[in-house]
Structure 1
Amino acid sequence: MDSLRGLPWLVGGDFNEICSNSEKVGGHPRAESQMDKFRETLDVCSLQDLHCGGEFFTWTNRRIGDNFVMERLDRFTGTFDWRMMYPTARIQSFEFYHSDHRPIVLELRGISGVNIVQIMSGQKLYTFEHMWVLDDDCSSMVAMGWNAAPTDAPIHT
């Protein structure tokens, strides 16, 4: 861990924990000791919350009435150095779609060589580089991937 100190970090996704009970609506309050451990981990790693535009609560249990709960489980955190490297970074949450989690998107603007980087919670990192469409093999590789037989084998890059 010490060898990583001082490096710019960005960590995002479903943390499955909240920082305070203000990040929760409905249900029983979360135990402070449980949230303390999460906050301590963020502090030890020098990670600070990167505030998100859009809806604040990113998860729901989809129940009705007294059993309804919403929490902010999905977020991006970054070190001070990362935030200084990418001061124009913006995070946005979107509507629930086929999941009990809202997708959250990180957009990096005005950075040379990067058009848009999107990271959606619950999915693997996908980065689109516009230069790929300029490659002669791009179209045939995409077609080959779409036409390939489905497989249960993991995808490695």
Structure 2
Amino acid sequence: MGNSVKIRELKQLIGAHNPDIIFLSETKMNGNDFRRLQNKCRLQNGLTVNSEGQSGGVALMWKEGTNVSIQSYSKHHIDSIVNLENNKIMRVTGLYGHANPSLRNNSWDILRRVGDSVREDWVVGRDFNAILNDAKKEGGRTGVRAQMHDFKAVMDDLELVDIKPDSGWFTWVNNRSGGGLVKERIDRFLSSVSLVENFPFIATKVVRQTQSDHDAILLDLWGRRPRDYPNDHRLCFKFDLCWAGDREAKTIIDSAWNRGDTEYGEKIERVRSVLGHWQGRSMEK
């Protein structure tokens, strides 16, 4: 981030999207560099973990009025609690996964340690330096199955789901190996199931960055909210416990959940969709 052109691009990103919280990885900054960056971005609240020489470094910045409490940090993560409106709180963890595959399990150990203390809705984001399957990759060698299995295992252990981007897909593009262009989705947001349930319109998107081989990823808790929400009762879907005893509802849930071999988050989204339509029809009768 010491490059003035990169800082200018970051400022443009902030100006265009006005994020409440920003997590930066591989900053290659020390404390003085970070303070200069904060001044240029006009974000005086934050925490940086210094880089080691010309590699590594993570930082978290947040705008004035955002209530953030740092819980823990290391060279590869910053964990925080964010106070939202209506006395709601959310756990926000920025992760910079080990680039060395032999050290990748250290990243998963960090997540597990943080997860042991999480009692809130939880979102984990940024550079995992890992892919979930070869569909998230284009070019280069195929992924090592054991490494992808380890990534999936930690997600299952912590009950985290992958939030797929609404726009863009690959987040890392590189041609340094000389073996042709390689594209991978190694930057992403994972969330707890409760976060998806409490924020049904959550959305992410990828924003191209010209000065980095990593693109920016944005998360918006209300990104998919229709303009007339919550005036239309059909869009105010929330699971009602009494439906568990409704034969028609149980049939709809069973059919939607077991249709196709998809990821956990997609199953939840499909059930929410079909039950939302069923709820709307029921209320119109």
TM-score, L = length of structure 2: 0.36
Amino acid corresponding to residue 184 of structure 2 in structure 1: E
AA partner of residue 211 (structure 2): H
**For 1:35-74, what aligned pairs fall within 5 Å after superposition?**
35-62=148-175, 66-74=179-187
Taking the aligned partners of 1:59 and 1:79, their CA distance within structure 2 comes to 24
Picking from 124, 130, 134, the partner of 1:21 is: 134
Aligned length: 110
1:88 to 179, 190, 201: 201
CA deviation after TM superposition for structure 1 residue 54, in Å = 1.5
Equivalent residue number for residue 124 of structure 2: 11
Q: Residue 100 in 1 paired to residue 213 in 2?
A: yes
In the alignment, which of 135, 145, 150 is matched to residue 32 of structure 1?
145
Superposed CA deviations along residues 99-151 of structure 1, whole A, max 9, x for unmatched, are 101111111228xxxxxxxxxxxxxxxxxxxxxxxxxxxxxxxxxxxxxxxxx
Are the equivalent residues in 2 in contact too, given 1:62–1:100 (CA < 8 A)? no
Q: Secondary structure at the match of 2:167?
A: coil
How far 1:76 sits from its partner (Å)? 0.5
Q: Which runs of 5+ in 2 are unaligned?
A: 1-112, 224-285
Task: Give the fraction of aligned pairs with identical amino acids, expressed as a percent.
Answer: 33
| Counterpart Cα distance in 1 of 2:203 and 2:180 | 33
User: Residue by residue, what CA displacement relative to the aligned partner does 1:65-124 show, whole Å, maximum 9, x if unpaired?
Assistant: 8421000001001111011121121111111221101111111228xxxxxxxxxxxxxx
Greater C-alpha Rg: 2
Cα RMSD, aligned residues only: 2.2
**Secondary structure, in 3 states, of the residue corresponding to 2:166?**
coil
Q: Which has the higher helix share?
A: 2
Secondary structure class of the residue paired with 2:148: helix
In structure 2, distance between residues paired with 1:3 and 1:63:
38
For 2:180 and 2:167, the matched residues in 1 are separated by 24
Equivalent position amino acid for 1:41 in 2: V
Deviation at 1:64, TM superposition (A): 9.3
Query: Partners in 1 of 2:208 and 2:184 — Cα distance?
Result: 14
Tell me the secondary structure at the aligned position of residue 10 of structure 1.
strand
Q: Partner letter of residue 149 of structure 2?
A: D
Larger relative contact order (CA 8 Å, sep ≥ 6): 1
Q: How is 1:121-136 mapped onto 2 (pairs within 5 angstroms)?
A: none
